[in-house]
Amino acid sequence: MNYVEPIRNLKSIKALKAYLKANKRPRDYLLFALGINIALRIGDLLKLKLGSVAEKTADGWRVRDELRTIEGKTSKRRIMQLNDSAQEAIGYWLEAHPDAEDGDYLFTSQKKLNKPITSGQAWRLVKEWASVVGLEGNIGTHSLRKTFGYWAFQNGTRTEVLQELFGHSRPEITRRYIGISEREIQDVYRSVNL
């Protein structure tokens, strides 16, 4: 089976964000930023509407601190904190869409009025971005979700917590999912030198 990989290089993540901002692509920037920061499956991500991430106030839009959703695959309720990167990306999107309404999709198709892009279109976008910044490996839309898990693990999140977050039945599934390689396992043996 041919699995997509997480993005394991922070420079590549920064390069992707810089490319999308420099080319004034707020929809795509938001797709990438939310994808790697909240770990939703692409189908659930594409269905998000403005009202799920921001609320209208007398002074304009206020970005929410959290996102509440029901996963399509599992029907589980999820509450995800919107970190600074996610909130910044939502703000950037809002700047480009000052007349947006609560019910507007965040990732609107240019071909179908008031419909989100398809998962196939999102996959093509991710492949394009990866190519432009020279990102190697098998990268696709699921790489966004896996990237979240990989970096959460690198920052000290226990496998069991990630297992619960992703809904995996066993820790070894989570380790494989986030791309923990044999080299990284061997590095642990070299680094613990008591």
pLDDT tens, position by position, 50-105: 999 999 999 899 999 999 998 888 888 888 999 999 999 999 999 999 899 999 99
Name the active-site residue from 17, 27, 29, 41. Answer: 41
In this predicted structure, what is the pLDDT of residue 3? 84
In this predicted structure, what is the pLDDT of residue 70? 87
Contact 153, 188 (CB under 8 A): no
Name the active-site residue from 17, 27, 146, 168. Answer: 168
In this predicted structure, what is the pLDDT of residue 171? 85
Q: For the segment 96-149, what is each residue's pLDDT rounded down to a tens digit?
A: 998 999 999 999 988 777 899 999 999 999 999 999 999 988 999 999 999 999
Cα-Cα-Cα-Cα torsion 72, 78, 26, 93, nearest 10 degrees, comes to 130
Ordered structural domains, the chain, with CATH: 10-191 (1.10.443.10)
CA distance 128 to 40: 21
Give the predicted TM-score (pTM) of the model.
Answer: 0.90
Name the active-site residue from 17, 27, 142, 146. Answer: 142
Q: Where do we find the tokens 């019910």?
A: 103
Q: Can 97 be counted among the known catalytic residues?
A: no
- Reply yes or no on whether the pLDDT at 185 is more than 90: no
In this predicted structure, what is the pLDDT of residue 104? 95
Name the active-site residue from 17, 145, 146, 175. Answer: 145
In this predicted structure, what is the pLDDT of residue 2? 62
Q: How far from the centroid of its chain's Cα atoms is residue 53's Cα?
A: 14
Torsion sign, CA atoms 176, 179, 180, 184: positive
Q: Can 41 be counted among the known catalytic residues?
A: yes
CA distance 75 to 136: 34
Strand ranges, E, within 3-90 = 54-57, 60-63, 66-70, 77-81
- Reply yes or no on whether the pLDDT at 1 is more than 70: no
- Taking Cα atoms as reference points, which of 102, 138, 110 lies closest to residue 123? 138
